[in-house]
Amino acid sequence: MLLQRQCRAAPKRKSQGSPQDSSSHTAHNPLHNPLEDLRFIRETIERSSAFTAVPGWGQVILGVTALAAAPIAARQTTPFGWIAIWLVEAGLAVAIAGAAMNHKSQRLGVPLISGPARKFALGFLPPLAVGGVVTVILCSAGLTTMLPGIWALVYGAAVITGGVFSVPLVPMMGACFMAAGCLGLPFPRAGNFMMAASFGGLHILFGYLIARKHGG
């Protein structure tokens, strides 16, 4: 009985910490907008996984030079003269594209030796190499009238395979080039017009869209 009375009389121990006390020691961090965080993460992933330095305005210039080359090529009297004009145009296009790509990559802070850029190049260059081999074979066989359609098909394939690592408009442009090549092969006499419509018109159209939607 005595022990029971002592236990009843013993004061109750206070809890060492109440919810209010513990909350008073908790530091409150400033709130962040979840939508802003998600947008930042998405843009970071897109920049790290896609090659965004494809030059839109550079492609517009390529299209203009192709339109200028078409009437010059049409006045050539030999197939090899026609081929020479378009090969010169191709070399000019490479120089313009390289300069425009370098300018856009510096402006966007996307190095040309980055992972996405290497993937783009690895997808883009092999079909062009195949196109060079096929060009030599067709010229040797005297089948130069097939070149416009073949060039559009090969270039379209290169743009699609490289464009997988770029913005969505790039592979769409490649698909349009391949469609133009398929349409041009049955009509070899319209090859010069097809070159102007594809390498001129498609470059101008998609270059403008890329420039408007993807920063130049």
Domain assignment of residue 176, given as a range: 50-213
Compute the distance between CA of residue 52 and CA of residue 146 in angstroms, rounded to an integer.
33
Q: Say if 3 falls within a structural domain.
A: no
User: Is residue 38, in this structure, part of any structural domain at all?
Assistant: no
Residues shown for the chain: 216
Instruction: Please indicate, yes or no, if residue 20 is contained in any of the structural domains.
Output: no
State the chain's mean pLDDT as an integer.
Answer: 81
3-state secondary structure 142-193: CCHHHHHHHHHHHHHHHHHHHHCCECCHHHHHHHHHHHHHHHHCCCHHHHHH
Residue 163 lies in a domain: yes
Q: Is 25 a member of any domain?
A: no
Q: What is the spatial distance between Cα 108 and Cα 53, in angstroms, rounded to a whole number?
A: 7
Number of domains within the chain:
1
167 or 65, which is more confident?
Answer: 65
Spatial CA neighbour of 108 closest among 173, 48, 35? 48
In this structure, are residues 171 and 164 in contact, taking their beta carbons and an 8 Å threshold?
A: yes
- What is the model's pLDDT at position 146? 94
Tell me what pLDDT residue 40 has. 66
Please determine, for residue 73, whether its predicted confidence score (pLDDT) is greater than 90.
yes
User: 63 and 202 in contact (C-beta within 8 Å)?
Assistant: yes
Does the pLDDT at position 32 exceed 70? no
Confidence label for 16 from pLDDT (cuts 50, 70 and 90) = very low
175 contact partners, CB below 8 Å, separation of at least 6: 156, 160
Q: Give the DSSP H or E segment for 102.
A: helix 79-108
Q: Are 70 and 196 in contact (CB under 8 A)?
A: yes
Query: What does the pLDDT average to over 65-77?
Result: 95
Looking at the domain assignment, is residue 197 inside a domain? yes
The per-residue pLDDT for range 34-66, each reduced to its tens digit, is 777 666 665 555 555 556 667 889 999 999 999
The pTM of this model reads 0.73
Give the integer Cα–Cα distance in Å for 17 and 53: 58
Beta strands in 46-87 (DSSP E): none
Spatial distance between the Cα atoms of 30 and 155, rounded to a whole number of angstroms: 52
pLDDT, residue 112, reads 67
Sorting pLDDT into bands at 50, 70 and 90, what band is 152?
very high
26 assigned to some structural domain: no
Q: Could you give the 3-state DSSP secondary structure of residue 21?
A: helix
Residue 63: CA atoms inside 13 Å, Cβ hemisphere, count? 19
Does residue 164 lie in a domain region?
yes
